[in-house]
Structure 1
Amino acid sequence: MTIIGETEVVEEHEHKHEEEHDHVHGGGEGGILRIYGPAILSFVLLMLGIFADNYWKPTFFTGIVRFIWYALAYLPVGWPVATRGIKLMFKGDIFTEFVLMTIATLGAFYIGEYPEGVAVMLFYTVGELFQDSAVNRAKRSIKALLDIRPDTATLVVNGNYQVVEPTTVKIGDIIQVKAGEKVPLDGVLITEGSTFNTAALTGESKPSSLRKGDTVLAGMINQQQVINLQVTRAFNDSSLARILTMVQEATTRKAKTEQFIRKFARIYTPIVVLLAVLITFLPYFFVTEYRFNDWLYRALIFLVISCPCALVISIPLGYFGGIGAASRKGILFKGSNYLDLITKVNNVVMDKTGTLTKGVFKVQSVKIATNAESWLPYAAALEQHSTHPVAKAVVEYAGETAKELKAEEVEEVSGHGLRGKINGKIVLAGNAKLLTKYGIQFPLEIESVTDSIVVVAIDSIYQGYLTIADEIKEDSAAAISELHQLGIKTTMLSGDKQSVVDKVANILGIDKAFGNLLPEDKVAKVEQLKQSPDAVVAFVGDGINDAPVLALSDVGIAMGGLGSDAAIETADVVIQTDQPSRIVTAIKIGKATNRVVWQNIGFAFGVKAIVLILGAGGLATMWEAVFADVGVALLAILNAVRIQKMKF
């Protein structure tokens, strides 16, 4: 268990590699001297011993004196590894790298190769220290996220200000945030406005200007003036808390490659131990001048080389680096398995509103039917019960006219609109399909309107409609173009009418576009795409009605900035910036991570195989074995760390 800030992150590696490091090296809790002191002491004693071997051996440095000296050099680095190996053996985990290193080094002592025995354990320990350092570096982006959590909130009570812990603030309370302070909880801005740094949440350095009534999220930094917020979510339910939970849990969901390597190491290590035993004793039956110590030395080299730590640590580190690199770009992968899967995506299916368009609607025109009464306040009163961007546009346009009206028995007709009772009248507000469903006649001209539309009926009589327009996001066209360059097909699914969908698809260059879809229709379209045996489908959406299709797709991607909680919870990848171009960035990060992981696998297996053969043939010494184990591990780690420095 690793404790970061106030949050405990349990990383249950099947091989318990990182947990074992903590036991061996003290977990970083005893300061630099406690961590690096044993290796430094062992190195100094080893160097003095080698010096004595060359200059004092004939006169003084022989026999028991030489053995005790090298034993003292061995203990600081060998004892923690040996004791950990013994503990794991009692737990039934016999073939671990700790046991391998202990057997190999004690065997070297047995045949009188004291310096090599100390050197193997010393370099192994140094390699472990480098690995720990690399893992900590990979965690920094997540630690940085945890560090942005505010420790206090300024509560406004009857004009008085109280500094309290954010966890004690309730929904509906008013809090004050001064210029330069972090916003402690999600809330609605009740003062005129300010500018906010959202980099901690989205990875975007560009400040965001918010006005009265806009949503402000925990973790943003107020840059301009003193503001007041009305809290809309408790501390543990805030957007920031949700992000931290998702990133932390991502380390527990392993990629298939990572799972395979860990399972492979469990089979591979005992086989190599058996081969080492055979290398020691089998030549007795075939070699005329059999010398036990010579063949034991070859077997010990074989054991050192066989240690699988280069793979067991560098591969998880590669995935961890990919998750960290993505989080700095405002992209949250919920597991390393999705880093792998996103590289195989060949079909990206997208929702329109809020995904490719801004979802900020404005009423363009109002068409009133002949002899119709003033129906706009009725429509606005009903639409107040919906969170859909179109509904918000109607409410905003109507202003205060609907203030005195109260809608009752409101029912959402999925994919159609709303039905409710106002002042004893049955009011319908939605698309043309809603009126058709209830058998209400309307003019055919409605079908030819290209913008989004809200049709209204009162007591089964058509009253008129509003046209509403949305705006395409600035980077939508570039995102579609880059997806095509990667050989990925694009499809747009929308509940909006076909004419609106076609218009957006033509502007962006999307391959296929389907409108007039209910949530179940979107599911059917994705199911249809997935029928192809080689299809790997990613769906990108933001609304609560997108949750079923997000769950069905191979990779569900949610727009997390303005997206619904249901969509974010269901998705496998969350894009905090709401930018379609980050879909391409996520794929590129996945490909880079996958490339580095396979480079490490190939390099580690290649070098180990060569030195294993040389060691078995007596052509490699213990020093080559150290390079094949520790050296390869370090090179693999450095390669994995590259992911965090790449530009995407």
Structure 2
Amino acid sequence: MNNTFKEIKNIKRDEPDSCCSSHNEHVHSDSDSHDHEHDHSHGEGSYFQMFFPAVISFCLLLIAIVFDNYFPQTWFSGWIRIGWYIAAYFPVGFPVVKEAFESIRKGDVFSEFLLMGIATIGAFAIGQFPEGVAVMLFYGIGEIVQSLAVKRAKSNIKLLLDQRPDSATVLEGETTISKKASEINIGAIIQLKPGEKLALDGKLISESATFNTAALTGESKPDTKKKNESVLAGMINLNTVAVVEVTTAYTDSKLSKILEMVQEATAKKAPTELFIRKFAKIYTPFVVFLAIAICLLPFVFLDNYVFKDWLYRALVFLVISCPCALVISIPLGYFGGIGAASKNGILVKGSNFLDIMASIQVVVMDKTGTLTKGVFKVQKVVALGVSEEDLIQYTAALESKSTHPVGTAIVEYAKGSDKNLKITDVEEIAGHGLKGKVEGNEILAGNVKLMQQFGISYDPEIDNTPFTIIVVAINKVYSGYFLIADEIKEDAKTAIQSLHKINVKTVILSGDKQAVVDAVAKELNIDLAYGDLLPENKAEQVEALKLQNQKVAFVGDGVNDAPVIALADAGIAMGGLGSDATIETADIVIQNDQPYKIYTAINIGKKTKQIVYQNIGLAFAVKAIVLTLGAGGLATMWEAVFADVGVALLAILNAVRIQRMKF
């Protein structure tokens, strides 16, 4: 039973307002050391250890009830009978009473443990031994059920995120040594064989290597890295032995940071959850004093006052009033929502964001990398005043200094005809393109806004072309363009249709030209489309939507999207590890790049909120009825068990439903 209570501490450790705050700070190191083992497997030994105290208690209680009511034994009386019931109480009652004392020592007097302790010990004091044991037994079973639900949710998160290998092969001179990844220092050289997964972030020392990055970005296309380029923990080496220099400690890798963010998600509470905890903090001492009044006040008004009877009513009232169903099931409902999202490849950084997603009215999306694959290919080259070969070589040389996917497409297109050209004075003009010198010639390569900025005339037909165009000027003379096409993601249309079904408005904000954005919007049936936008223009559009009192989610993947993501009510990052700034800023991260997951995240938020409200309604309704009956002496301790533990169990089972739902 002790392990059960330690498991529950782990979900509540960041909840200072809880009436169960004894869980919050009292987290032993041994519970943390067992987390990894518990989260990855639920072996028979673990289950046996959790249920063993409850089984012992149940068996002893059952035998005692049989001796009391069905097969009376002459020896089963007096101190032997009392001792038997104490023995039945101890396995499930001792951990609770111990927690009650610890919570009092830490300043939290009115905890659920104190209520249960007073009620059950009081039942023993007035000779109601079976009821005293039964209340604590069912309470303990409720805690076990909660523990299992927490483990399941944590397991969903771990299965998605724990992509880090535990060890790596380190090169030391001519020898190789296998070391734990957590013990490898920055600057160490590690060797990665084909099929192995990289354990730490680093810099590629080999001339080139191809990696599968699907576990990180959801992008199935292999990614070839060149010498001195960054490689990330979780990437899988595909074709040749690679040598990598470690640049980041194990705990500081990008993958580790995301894992840490999700594990800390329960610290960010939803408003409903915060309200319930504040309510419980006031409600619990109130019902304790009310129970004292129920016990003592009738002495003043009644001639036939019997202390034992009214004490029993007060104890029944205490058991009923315990806020377990609320303070257990509601955080568990949100935690289950986070676990369900993780199971679907969505990382939610806090339960408050589940509440926000449930009320989203407008989804604003970047185009490239969000709705489209971001894998560009040159479809056509038009050269004017220069040879096509020179246009390709000069532009590719300049674009080799950019990391933009469009520039990469031109560089890839130029392969086979590239020369060692002298490149100098390269300058990136945000939202426009590149400026630089190639073999002494000034080259401008970018969108039409770049040409307009430098006063260069170009073919006006370009403005009406529904494709991405890179316009090139050599020595301030319009010299042609590259027509580049991107492909819309397979599930983008389904995603937009699904959002429209739940009355969510869709908007595209893109730096690409208006004709391209309009073509994508028309194909996907998106409500509004704005092109030719700089990063600050995107922020202005989102701000304008928020001023209309609409809940806005923004979905993006690039570093330029980070400010807009921060501005939106819910910021969603596409592409897993696409950009550090975007991932750090986003409230929700979609691991597999699928736009449909936007709808899934909203749906999970709505289902989570629905389950939480169901639990609140159930708990308050049943407690109000049975509290009234208990105060009037019409409810026994058995009804109290149902009103408290029974309702808590029903609420917990309702809360874990979300983890089994298909979205």
Which amino acid counterpart does residue 15 of structure 2 have in structure 1?
H
Match of 2:555 in 1: 540
Q: CA deviation at 1:436?
A: 1.6
> Where does residue 210 of structure 1 map in the other structure?
222
Distance 1:570 1:469, change over 3 A: same
Give the Cα–Cα distance (whole angstroms) in 1 for the partners of residues 176 and 303 of structure 2: 92
Q: Hey, what does 2:23 align to over in structure 1?
A: 20
Q: Give the conservation status (yes or no) of the 8 Å contact 2:19–2:277.
A: no
5 Å-filtered alignment, 1:2-17, equals: 11-14=13-16, 15=18, 17=20
How far residue 288 of structure 1 moved from its aligned partner, in angstroms, is 3.3
Q: Tell me the SS of whatever aligns to 2:297.
A: helix
Q: Aligned to 2:122, which of 94, 107, 114?
A: 107
| 1:163 corresponds to which of 169, 175, 178 | 178
What is the letter of the counterpart of residue 54 of structure 2? A
SS in 2 for 1:102: helix
Structure 2 distance, partners of 1:576, 1:356, is: 15
Question: How many angstroms does 1:615 deviate by?
Answer: 0.6
Q: What's the counterpart of residue 138 of structure 1?
A: 153
1:405 Cα offset (Å): 2.8
SS in 1 for 2:222: strand
Question: Structure 2 CA distance, aligned partners of 1:16 and 1:113?
Answer: 27
1 CA distance for matches of 2:213 and 2:456? 50
Letter in 1 for 2:526: I
Report the Cα distance in structure 2 between the residues aligned to 1:355 and 1:617, rounded to whole angstroms. Answer: 62
Superposed CA deviations along residues 601-620 of structure 1, whole A, max 9, x for unmatched, are: 11111111111111111111
- In the other structure, the counterpart of 1:86 is 101
- 1:283 pairs, out of 298, 301, 305, with 298
Residues 1:219 and 1:386: Cα distance change in structure 2 (over 3 Å): same
Report how far residue 221 of structure 1 moved. Answer: 6.1
| Residue pair 1:350, 1:540 contacting (<8 A) in 2 also | yes
* Match among 36, 59, 77 for residue 92 of structure 2: 77
Which residue does 2:366 correspond to in 1?
Answer: 351
Could you report, residue by residue, the CA deviation over 1:26-79 in whole angstroms, capped at 9, with x for unpaired residues?
Answer: 959696666444433333333343344347879544444433333333333323
Residue segments in structure 1 that go unaligned for 5+ positions in a row: none
* In structure 2, C-alpha distance between the alignment counterparts of 1:73 and 1:448, rounded to whole Å: 82
1:149-188 aligned at under 5 Å gives the runs 149-155=164-170, 161-167=176-182, 168=184, 175-179=191-195, 181-185=196-200
The aligned counterpart of 1:451 is 467
Among residues 542, 547, 555, which one is paired with 1:531 in the alignment?
Answer: 547
The answer (yes or no) to whether the contact 1:560–1:568 under 8 Å persists in 2 is: no
Query: Could you tell me how far 1:226 is from its partner in structure 2?
Result: 6.0
Displacement of 1:527 in angstroms is 0.9
In structure 1, the partner of 2:37 is: none
Matches of 2:429 and 2:281, distance apart in 1: 55
Give the direction of change, closer, same or farther, for the CA distance of 1:238–1:10 in structure 2 (3 Å limit).
Answer: farther
Aligned residue for 2:328? 313
Deviations 1:464-502 (A, max 9, x none): 221111111111111111111111111111111111111
| Corresponding position of 1:396 | 412
For the residue of structure 1 that corresponds to 2:264, the secondary structure is helix
- Pairing 1:480–2:496 present: yes
Question: Who is 1:573 aligned against?
Answer: 588
Please say if 1:370 is aligned against 2:385: yes
CA separation in 2, counterparts of 1:10 and 1:64?
40
SS at match of 1:251: helix
Aligned counterparts of 2:31 and 2:173: Cα–Cα separation in 1: 48
Contact preservation (8 Å) 2:216, 2:577: no
For the structure 1 residues 86 and 165, does the alpha-carbon distance in structure 2 shift closer, same or farther, using more than 3 Å as the test? Answer: closer
Do the aligned partners of 1:123 and 1:630 also contact (CA within 8 Å) in 2? Answer: yes
Measure, in 1, the Cα distance between the counterparts of 2:465 and 2:68: 93
What CA deviation, in whole Å up to 9, does each residue of 1:262-294 have, x standing for no partner?
A: 111111111111211111122223333221111
The structure-2 alpha-carbon separation of the partners of 1:562 and 1:397, relative to structure 1 and needing over 3 Å to count, comes to: farther
Cross-structure match for 2:351: 336
Contact 2:554–2:570 (8 Å) recurs in 1: yes
The separation in 2 between residues aligned to 1:240 and 1:10, in whole angstroms, is 25
**Whole-Å separation in 1 of the counterparts to 2:82 and 2:298:** 29
Q: Shift of residue 381 of structure 1? A: 2.3
**For residue 622 of structure 1, what is the amino acid of its counterpart?**
M
CA distance in 2, matches of 1:431, 1:623: 75
SS of equivalent to 1:563: coil
Distance 1:69 1:266 in 2: 36
- Which residue of structure 1 lines up, in the alignment, with residue 279 of structure 2? 264
Amino acid at match of 1:330: G
Question: Residue in 1 aligned with 2:476?
Answer: 460
Is residue 560–residue 576 contact of structure 1 (8 Å, CA) maintained in 2? yes
1:459–1:11 CA distance, 2 compared to 1 (3 A): farther
Superposition deviation, residue 165 in structure 1: 3.6
Paired residue for 1:120?
A: 135
User: Are the aligned partners of 1:280 and 1:292 in contact in 2 as well (CA < 8 Å)?
Assistant: yes
Q: What's the counterpart of residue 555 of structure 1?
A: 570
Q: Provide the residue aligned with 1:518 in structure 2.
A: 534
**Residue type matched to 2:291 in 1?**
A
**Secondary structure at 2:302 match in 1:** coil
Q: Which amino acid aligns with 1:553?
A: A
> Which letter maps to 1:454?
I
Query: Which residue in the other structure is 1:595 paired with?
Result: 610
**AA partner of residue 579 (structure 1):** Q
Contact 1:23 1:84 in 2 (8 A): no
In the alignment, structure 1 residue 360 sits paired with structure 2 residue 372: no
Structure-2 separation of matches of 1:232 and 1:406: 32
- Matched-pair contact (CA < 8 Å) for 2:555–2:572: yes
Cα 1:55–1:346 change in 2 (3 A) is: closer
Contact 2:552 2:569 survives alignment (8 Å): yes
- CA-atom RMSD, angstroms? 3.3
The amino acid of 1:479's aligned partner reads A
CA contact (8 A) 2:341 2:348 kept: yes
Distance 1:347 1:242 in 2: 29
Cα 1:553–1:40 shift into 2, 3 Å: same
Match of 2:434 among 418, 435, 443: 418
Contact 1:151 1:165 in 2 (8 A): yes
Distance 2:325 2:185 in 1: 48
- The corresponding residue for 2:62 is 47
How far residue 229 of structure 1 moved from its aligned partner, in angstroms, is 6.5
Distance 1:486 1:250, change over 3 A: same
Q: Deviations over 1:155-212 (max 9, x none)?
A: 5688865434445376895632344x44434677977868x694x657x8xx945264
| TM-score normalized by the length of structure 2 | 0.87
| Identity among equivalent pairs (%) | 57
1:12 partner amino acid: D
- 1:415: how far off? 1.1
The 3 A distance-change label for structure 1 pair 262 and 137 is same
Q: Secondary structure at the match of 1:320?
A: helix
AA aligned to 1:518 is L
Aligned counterpart, 1:302:
317
- SS in structure 2 of the partner of residue 491 of structure 1: strand
Give CA-to-partner distance per residue, 1:488-540, whole Å, 9 cap, x none.
Answer: 1111111111111111111111111111111111111111111112x001111
Number of matched residues? 636
Distance 1:86 1:378 in 2: 77
Q: Mean alpha-carbon deviation: is it higher for 113-122 or for 548-557?
A: 113-122
2:42 match = none
Q: Contact 2:319–2:641 at 8 Å: present in 1 too?
A: yes
